[in-house]
Amino acid sequence: MQEGKKKVTLRDIAEKTGLSVNTVSRVLNKKPYYTKEVEEKVNAACKELGYIVDMNASGLRSGSTRTVAILYDDLVNPFYSYTTDIISKRLEERGYNCIMFSNNDRSPYVDYELMRNVMARKPDAILSYLEPQSDLLDFIKNTGIPFVIFGRDGTPYGMTGINADEVAAGRLAGQYLLDCGYKTIAYIGSWHDVKVCLDRQRGLQEALEQNGLHLKEEHVFYIRERELAEVVKKVVEDKADGILCFNDVIAFVMIEALLEHGLRAGEDYGIVGFDNVQQMMRMPRFLTTIDAGCRDLAETGAEVMLDLLTGAEEERPPFAATHKPILVKGNSTKNIR
């Protein structure tokens, strides 16, 4: 079983066993109609010669590459790496491999260049952490390849999405900041036009409005579009004391940046993130954050992908209906009433 010198093909197995290539293929793919005897002969020959199927050839002929494309922005943020780890392992157990595609920091969207690269690999399905560029929706649908948006609402794109209730999550965080007694609330988003970023912002707004307040436009920042220094300057000047960040990593960046101004999270101001990456990394808890249940989200994602890949028609309630976001208290906020 440890050859590898020359590549062993089905033909070699056929010659060795005296069967046809066809029959060998049928046995290996467990198609019906072959005798026990033939099966054993084939398996023995495969083992002896160290046969390994060529998935490229197989995929070319059969139309199924047993490959899933994962479209991502940034593996560093644990939300991505943690969920990708779970999803890719689940898929691998079932014989699918993941091919990674990034937007290489071009934009927060799936663009045509990205889709070209993806389509060249003929994946059986696509799981995207990126929202699709709106002028690409038809193209994506026309491919006929299942496209699942992970961690974001698919509804506005008419696509399957695996996502938490982001508005509720934003509301929960906002209400908590107000309950703590923070007065001037700011939101630090990522991009001004990414839906999940706006949903959390909307939740925050709703919480403020329920308390007779408003989220001021000048206190909403999109950090991927603006200089960090500029954002910090404004936050400091306006003495924003309750800061909600689109995710934990942005929260960390803000904490560091504000520290340079002598401002300490949990002392001089309260800060809340999203994702609970501390738990993923098994870190001591410091940051107050919203946990949407990323492990379950990833498991659901893997199941939905497998349903699509195998053609199973499972009835699943939307993730957001069964999983409510929870607030995880850390030391980056405190009751200042």
Count CB-CB contacts under 10 A for residue 302: 23
Residue 9 interacting entry, from DNA, a second copy, none, C-beta within 5 to 8 Å by type: DNA
In this chain, which of 4, 30, 35, 284 binds DNA, going by CB under 7 A? 35
CA distance 23 to 43: 12
CA distance 92 to 154: 25
Tell me which residues touch a second copy (CB under 8 A).
1-5, 52-57, 59-60, 65, 67, 74-76, 78, 80-82, 84-85, 88-89, 92-93, 97-102, 104-105, 112, 116-117, 119-122, 136, 138-139, 142-144, 249, 252-253, 255-256, 259, 277, 280-284, 286
Buried b (16+ CB within 10 A) or exposed e, 15-31: ebbebeeebbbbbbeee
- Site size toward DNA, by CB under 7 A: 29
Residue 280 interacting entry, from a second copy, DNA, none, C-beta within 5 to 8 Å by type: a second copy
Are the beta carbons of 138 and 128 closer than 8 angstroms?
no
Q: Which is nearer to DNA, 11 or 233 (CB)?
A: 11
Are the beta carbons of 265 and 255 closer than 8 angstroms?
yes
In sign, the C-alpha dihedral spanning 190, 194, 195, 201 is positive
Residue 237, phi then psi, degrees to nearest 5? -55, -45
Does 23 participate in binding DNA (rule CB under 7 A)? Answer: yes
Does 212 participate in binding DNA (rule CB under 7 A)? Answer: no
Between the alpha carbon of residue 150 and those of residues 24, 145, 284, 304, 314, the distances in Å are: 39, 16, 27, 10, 18
Q: Which is nearer to a second copy, 72 or 187 (CB)?
A: 72
Of the listed pieces 32-40, 77-85, 185-193, 295-303, which binds DNA according to CB under 7 A? 32-40
Residue 282 interacting entry, from a second copy, DNA, none, C-beta within 5 to 8 Å by type: a second copy
Which residues have C-beta within 8 Å of that of residue 82, sequence separation ≥ 6? 277, 280, 294, 295, 298
Q: Which is nearer to a second copy, 69 or 164 (CB)?
A: 69
Does 4 participate in binding DNA (rule CB under 7 A)? Answer: no
Q: Which is nearer to DNA, 57 or 100 (CB)?
A: 57
In this chain, which of 3, 48, 54, 179 binds DNA, going by CB under 7 A? 54
> Within positions 306 to 335, which residues make up the interface with DNA, using CB under 7 A?
none
Shortest distance in whole angstroms from residue 139 CB to a second copy: 4
Does 22 participate in binding DNA (rule CB under 7 A)? Answer: yes
Buried b (16+ CB within 10 A) or exposed e, 222-239: bbbeeeeeebbeebbeee
Candidates 150, 219, 234, 233; CA nearest to 189 is 219
In this chain, which of 9, 77, 184, 279 binds DNA, going by CB under 7 A? 9
Residues of this chain that bind DNA (CB under 7 A):
7, 9-11, 18-23, 25-26, 28-29, 31-35, 37-38, 51, 53-54, 57-58, 60-62
